Amino acid sequence: MTVQEQIERLAEKLIDDLCRIDERPDGWLPHTVYVEEIGEDATLGEIPVYTRYTLEDYNQDGSCTLRNMEGEYRSGHLREINIDWLVTLWNRYMELCIEQELWRDRAIRRLEQDTEASLPDMLEFVEEHWQNCASDEENIQMFLRWVEPEEE
């Protein structure tokens, strides 16, 4: 897989994770993001430029509302946002979930969505083993390895 394909896969994963969010922490949005657009240069012609926007809101399908620095709104999609800013957006979400103590409920919802384990197992794992710095996928894999011996 090429580096570009890896970056595209990561961007899609971030967008999928953002679209799965069903409880947003206070103060998370609006958030500054940058979108790569096509600009004009007198000598070079069309060139890529990074335009600053404010991500005002988005829907579970990834469609979003962006506001430029002149205060004008436009519709867009999360995939338009530069990957560095998708990462920044995700990291800020995680920080606020931890600060506002939303992470436990979020972790339990992810386990409920992605596993068929019992609620007592989920609660115990989240309280004792969930790692906020790890990805959801890593935590889910750790959970499945942790709970597996009990299911045998």
Instruction: Return the domain boundaries, the chain.
Output: 1-100, 101-152
Q: What is the phi/psi pair of residue 61, to 5°?
A: -90, 0
pTM: 0.84
Cβ-proximal residues to 20 (8 Å cutoff; 6+ apart), any chain: 60, 110, 113
Exposed / middle / buried, residue 106 (Cβ in 10 Å: 0-12, 13-18, 19+): buried
At residue 40, the pLDDT reads 87
Q: How many CB atoms lie within 10 A of CB 139?
A: 21
3-state SS, residue 33: strand
118-123 long-range Cβ contacts below 8 angstroms, 24+ apart = 121/147, 121/150
Output the pLDDT for position 135.
85
Q: Does domain 1-100 have CATH number 2.30.30?
A: yes
CB 73 within 8 A of CB 67: yes
CA distances from 151 to 1, 13, 39, 59, 99 (A): 36, 30, 58, 38, 34
Burial 46-82 (b: 16+ CB within 10 A, else e): eeeeeeebbbeebeeebebbbeeeeeeeeebebebbe
Please report the pLDDT score of residue 65 as a whole number: 98
pLDDT of residue 45: 87
Q: What angle do CA 77, 33, 2 make, to 5 degrees?
A: 70
Per-residue pLDDT tens digits of the chain, which is 152 residues long: 899 999 999 999 999 999 999 899 999 999 999 999 998 888 888 999 999 999 999 999 999 999 999 999 999 999 999 999 999 999 999 999 999 999 999 999 999 999 999 999 999 999 999 998 888 889 999 999 998 865 44
